[in-house]
Amino acid sequence: MVHGIATRVSEQASSDKLTGRLRAMSYIWSTVGWADQFRPDVGRRLLRNTRSKRES
């Protein structure tokens, strides 16, 4: 019984983490896209920064 609850809680936590990451990614992409419309160099720099952060 307790094990089932713990499993459900951990599943919920992992799905929250996933949606949080997706939300962060969509925010980053919208920011990069917005910057890209006005200043392409800024958009590319933002994109490069997010890529290097993810790799490190």
pLDDT digit string (tens) for 26-46?
A: 887 787 777 667 666 766 777
Measured CA angle at 21 (ends 6, 4), to 5 deg: 10
pLDDT for 56 beyond 60: no
**pTM of the model as a whole:** 0.35
pLDDT tens digit string along 11-29? 777 778 888 888 888 887 7
Domain ranges of the chain: 22-56
- The encoded tokens of residue 35 equal 């910057």
Q: Which residue has the higher pLDDT, 51 or 27?
A: 27
* C-alpha–C-alpha distance, residues 49 and 45, integer Å: 6
pLDDT on residue 49: 78
